[in-house]
Structure 1
Amino acid sequence: MVARVPKFSRIQPEMRREELVDATLRCLAQHGHAGVSVRKIAAAAGVSIGLINHYYPSVDQLISHAYEKLSGGIAAHLMEVSAGGATPRESLSLFIRESFGPGIFDPPMLGVWVVFWSMVRHSADMQAVQQRTYAQYRQVLERYLGDLAGDSGLPPVNIQAAATALNALLDGLWLTWCLNPKDFSVEEGIAMCEGWVDAFAAGAFAARLNIPGR
């Protein structure tokens, strides 16, 4: 006798959460801040509002999960790519160039970032994710910049402040390009960041901001 195959199978909770997170990212990419809506996310996922509420008691929790997935995925990708550099300077160049790559530097993706950033100040869940993921980015930059400072024979320099400055430059260029892509080209954006690193290696940052590290 042939065993009967169930007509339907229950999706495992983690798989369901991932589906809802992916639908959230699609919704934010399509609708921007207006996509922060359980109704729209449910429609994008093809599920009921009740199902979303079952897995995520608040929309903030769902959005913060999406934020962590996107940010963590990009951080892991940048770390993997930049690890291929033969020197700290090459690793920084790989990190910078990939930050302007097609999988990261495109209008829908940057639009999602703008939504996330706008929510950080008003959501404890988003603040917690921002602190964790920002620390990932900064630690990578601190390592490369610290090694570059050693290779360049620089005097003691606040590497944490330097990493914060380079990360802020990248974020600022992302935001500027999101608001108006005509302001600069991808290659110009890369050149701006490479110029900053060149100035750092030449000692400009150490001379201007020699604040003890925290």
Structure 2
Amino acid sequence: MDRRTQLADVVMQIAAERGLDHVSVREVAAAAGVSIGAVQHYFRSKDALLLAAFQRYADTLGARIRAMDQSGTPRDIIRRLILELLPLDGLRSTETRMFIAFAARAIVTPELARVYHYGLAQLRSILTQLIELAQQSGDAITHVPADTLARTLLSVADGATLQTVTSREPDASTHAIAELDAALTLVFPGS
């Protein structure tokens, strides 16, 4: 792993554990075991560090989604894809906490917003294509456009993600999966 990637991973770890307010060149250098100058060699500012880390997260998630099992019906594939986004284990919970911190900052940081919206558009495109396939075969409802259904499923995933990661309930993950399955049943009523 190259130094830039290592430093981006450290930023993600700090963001997940303590939030973006604790990310600084000094903090990243200390956590990575390198000098401040070494961090500044690769990243001139905190914003550059944040952008690299958010892009690293997006690239990692994209690779994981591309490597997913693509067998089964469009509904099966969509369910697996959305489950990959939900904080159902330690790794995904950590990623979710980090992602929420970055998404909030993307509201006021155009560079982060571009990464966020690019990734979101890719996810929406995949879901839309799968739903269109299901609509053509009669397996999904057809009175609502596929893009609207894709956006709806992502909204359910967003809500379930936020509720799960912030919940103190031991069965929050079970509720998130049930919410996803309920939404899928509305889109794919024959499944």
- TM-score class normalised by the smaller sequence: 0.7 to 0.9
Identity fraction in percent: 25
Please tell me whether residue 74 in structure 1 is matched to residue 70 in structure 2: no
Match of 2:42, as an amino acid? Answer: Y
User: Does the 8 A contact of 1:29 with 1:111 survive in 2?
Assistant: yes
Aligned to 2:114: 128
Count of residue correspondences: 188
Structure number, greater radius of gyration: 1
User: Does the 8 A contact of 2:163 with 2:172 survive in 1?
Assistant: no
Structure 1 alignment gaps of length 5 or more: 1-13, 204-214
Quick one: distance in 1 between partners of 2:6 and 2:73?
39
- Secondary structure in 1 aligned to 2:89? coil
User: Does the 8 A contact of 1:61 with 1:125 survive in 2?
Assistant: no
- Secondary structure in 2 aligned to 1:152? coil
Quick one: distance in 1 between partners of 2:171 and 2:62?
24
- Secondary structure in 2 aligned to 1:105? helix
TM-score scaled by structure 2?
Answer: 0.86
Quick one: distance in 2 between partners of 1:172 and 1:60?
28
Aligned to 2:146: 159
Please tell me whether residue 93 in structure 1 is matched to residue 76 in structure 2: no
Please tell me whether residue 194 in structure 1 is matched to residue 168 in structure 2: no
Structure 2 alignment gaps of length 5 or more: none
Tell me how far 1:46 sits from its aligned partner: 1.3
Classify 1:92/1:181 alpha carbon distance in 2 versus 1 (closer, same or farther; 3 Å).
farther
User: Does the 8 A contact of 1:28 with 1:35 survive in 2?
Assistant: yes
Please tell me whether residue 148 in structure 1 is matched to residue 134 in structure 2: yes
Aligned to 1:40: 27
Classify 1:152/1:181 alpha carbon distance in 2 versus 1 (closer, same or farther; 3 Å).
farther
- Secondary structure in 2 aligned to 1:81? coil
User: Does the 8 A contact of 1:97 with 1:190 survive in 2?
Assistant: yes
Quick one: distance in 2 between partners of 1:91 and 1:188?
20
Classify 1:51/1:127 alpha carbon distance in 2 versus 1 (closer, same or farther; 3 Å).
same
Tell me how far 1:189 sits from its aligned partner: 0.9
Quick one: distance in 1 between partners of 2:106 and 2:170?
26
Q: Detail structure 1 runs of 4+ shifted over 6 Å in the superposition.
A: none
Match of 2:103, as an amino acid? Answer: W
Classify 1:104/1:161 alpha carbon distance in 2 versus 1 (closer, same or farther; 3 Å).
farther
Please tell me whether residue 110 in structure 1 is matched to residue 110 in structure 2: no
Q: How does 1:172-187 map to 2 (within 5 A)?
A: 172-182=159-169, 184-187=171-174
